[in-house]
Homo-oligomer: A and B are copies of this chain.
Amino acid sequence: MKSLIIIKIGGNVIDNPDALKQFLTSFRGIYGHKILIHGGGKIATQVAEKLGIQTTMVDGRRITDQPMLDVVTMVYGGLVNKQIVAQLQAIGVDAIGLTGADGNTVLSKKRAVGNIDYGFVGDIEEVNSGQIQYFIRQNLVPVFAPLTYDRSGSLLNTNADTMASAIAVDMAIRNETTLVYCFEKKGVLADPNNEDSVLAELTPESYANYKSQGVISKGMIPKLDNAFSALEKGVRKVIICHANQVAEAVSGSGVGTVLSLGTQE
Chain A: residues with CB nearer than 8 A to chain B?
47, 50-52, 70, 73-79, 81-83, 85-87, 89-90, 94-99, 101-104, 134, 138, 140, 147, 149, 151-155
Contact = CB atoms under 8 A, between A and B. Distances in A.
B99 A97 contact: yes
Contacts of A99: 82, 85, 97
A140 to B, nearest CB: 6
Contacts of A147: 82
Contact of A153 (B52, B87, B98, B138): B87
Nearest to A154: B86
Contacts of A75: 74, 78
Q: Which 3 A-B pairs have the closest CB atoms?
A: A78-B78, A90-B153, A74-B74
Contact of A94 (B47, B52, B103): B103
20 contacts: A47-B51, A47-B74, A50-B51, A50-B52, A73-B78, A74-B78, A74-B79, A76-B78, A77-B79, A77-B82, A78-B78, A86-B153, A86-B154, A89-B101, A90-B152, A90-B153, A96-B98, A96-B102, A97-B102, A103-B140
A228 to B, nearest CB: 33
* Most chain B beta carbons < 10 A, residue from A78, A79, A96, A99: A78
Interface hub of A51, A73, A154 (most chain B Cβ within 10 A): A73
Given A134-B138, A151-B90, A85 B73 contact: no
A103 to B, nearest CB: 5
A87 B104 CA distance: 11
Nearest to A78: B78
